Amino acid sequence: MPIELTLNGEAITLDIDPRTPLLDVLRDRHGLTGAKAVCREGFCGACTVHIDGQAVPSCLRPIGLLQGCSIVTVEGLAPPGTLNRVQQAFIDHDVVQCGMCFPGMVMTLTDFLDREPTPTRDQIKAALVGNICRCTGYERIIDAVLSLQAEGVA
């Protein structure tokens, strides 16, 4: 049965093995390579996207379970040529992350701030528990997120 869903605001229909991970659909069929294939076991957070507004690892979501869902990837977070508030805060606060972990962190923190607009430092740490940076660059990330509160844009 064809799978119909919305991808970055566009309605699409997929005729595909329903067991195919969303991550592979994004990367291999749609050229959306922001979600990264790293552990493929749900541990690293590099493949995080939004499904119906919630940040989840796309490597663990078979496409067949996503009938009617709205998927947003890091490519669709903001209009072309613009950045969302988390991306902008990372730049403003010199958060230097690699391309493997950066997109997943942006997706996780965007969802988190939608639900928790005025988080504490500890809450931000807890929100990032599923996004692994092997370089331990977390402090600047947390500072950047806290800055959004200070600037009143969280």
Residues lying near ligand FES in the complex (CB under 6 A) are found at: 37-40, 42-47, 57, 59, 97-98, 100-101, 133-135, 137
Angle between helices 102-115 and 85-92 (to 10 degrees): 120
Please say which residue, 98 or 153, places its beta carbon nearer to ligand FES. 98
Least distance in Å: CB of 98 to ligand FES? 3
Please say which residue, 7 or 154, places its beta carbon nearer to ligand FES. 7
Strand order from edge to edge, sheet including 48-51: 10-14, 3-7, 70-72, 48-51, 54-57
Please say which residue, 26 or 113, places its beta carbon nearer to ligand FES. 26
Q: What is the DSSP string of 1-31?
A: --EEEEETTEEEEE-S-TTSBHHHIIIIIH-
Angle between helices 102-115 and 138-150 (to 10 degrees): 40
Least distance in Å: CB of 45 to ligand FES? 5
Least distance in Å: CB of 57 to ligand FES? 4
Least distance in Å: CB of 17 to ligand FES? 19
Please say which residue, 130 or 149, places its beta carbon nearer to ligand FES. 130
In 3-state terms, what secondary structure has residue 113?
A: helix
Q: Do the bridges between strand 48-51 and strand 54-57 make them parallel or antiparallel, or are there none, so unpaired?
A: antiparallel
In the 8-state DSSP scheme, what is residue 48? E
